Amino acid sequence: MSGVIGWRLAQDDHPGQGSVDVGFLEDMQTHHLQALELGYAYLEHGSDPTLRHIARDIITFQGVEIGQMRSVLSDWGEPATPDPTGTAMAWMHERRPAQQMPGMATGDELNRLRDAQSPEADELFSRLMIVHHDGGIHMADYAAANAETGNIRNFARGVANTQRSEIAELNALRTRLGFEPVPLQFSSPRPPSG
């Protein structure tokens, strides 16, 4: 399946540096890498079986997507691995340091998650991941509407849909565990129309 998705992503013409397509693939890699970091940190001490399953799924599927994005960028002659300390989001007119993209956890939050034990780990991981996905959706919705290539628009739409679904699942689980649901800060619960 991932090979087919990677092939489909690479079929269009090659947009250049500074395009929405390239910027989205570069910045979403950095964003996904932090999602993997959150997942691994939770698996150290988190005990809820459903949250552990979600963390493993995030590590697996976002890891595959990182590989696909790197492959496409390489095929386009762009650097496959972005600088996580560089500037991000110029492609959507929201220039900022990469570590301050919407939804990115701070260093202190990551350290707290690494040290947390359940149920604190359950609460912290689910909250940080919802906020993280919310920021990723903000970026993916923009790319879905503005990328030059149809395959990148479709890929971005798929990223946003998956992360919306995971937010709903995580908030339902938070309610079951006795935690307050986390409201969206950056995106809409439904994809933009158009």
Q: What are the start-end ranges of the E strands in the chain?
A: 87-88, 96-97
Domain that holds residue 161: 2-80+97-177
Q: Give the list of residues 6+ apart from residue 102 with CB closer than 8 angstroms, or none.
A: 134, 135, 136, 138, 139, 185, 186
Look at residue 194 and tell me if it is in a domain: no
Q: Cα angle at 100 between 95 and 101, to 5 degrees?
A: 65
Q: What is the pLDDT of residues 46-68, one digit of tens each?
A: 999 999 999 999 999 999 999 99
Look at residue 192 and tell me if it is in a domain: no
Number of domains in the chain: 1
pLDDT of residue 3: 41
Look at residue 115 and tell me if it is in a domain: yes
Task: Give the predicted TM-score (pTM) of the model.
Answer: 0.90
Question: What is the C-alpha separation between 22 and 79, in angstroms, rounded?
Answer: 10
Q: Which secondary structure element, helix H or strand E, spans residue 25, and what is its range?
A: helix 20-45
pLDDT of residue 2: 41
Instruction: Identify any residues that bridge with 97 across adjacent strands, giving them in sequence order.
Output: 87
pLDDT of residue 194: 55
Low-confidence ranges of the chain (pLDDT < 50): 1-8, 10-12
Q: Which of 61, 74, 90 is nearest to 161 (CA)?
A: 61
CB pairs under 8 A, 24+ apart, for 157-165? 157/191, 159/28, 159/65, 160/136, 160/187, 160/191, 161/191, 162/61, 163/133, 163/134, 163/136, 163/137, 164/133, 164/137, 164/189, 164/190, 164/191
Look at residue 183 and tell me if it is in a domain: no
Look at residue 43 and tell me if it is in a domain: yes
pLDDT of residue 80: 82
Look at residue 121 and tell me if it is in a domain: yes
Question: What is the C-alpha separation between 110 and 70, in angstroms, rounded?
Answer: 25
Contact present, 177 and 170 (Cβ < 8 Å): no
CATH code for the domain in which residue 147 is found: 1.20.1260.10
Question: What is the C-alpha separation between 160 and 150, in angstroms, rounded?
Answer: 15
pLDDT of residue 1: 37
Look at residue 187 and tell me if it is in a domain: no
Look at residue 42 and tell me if it is in a domain: yes
At 150, list the tokens.
């149809």
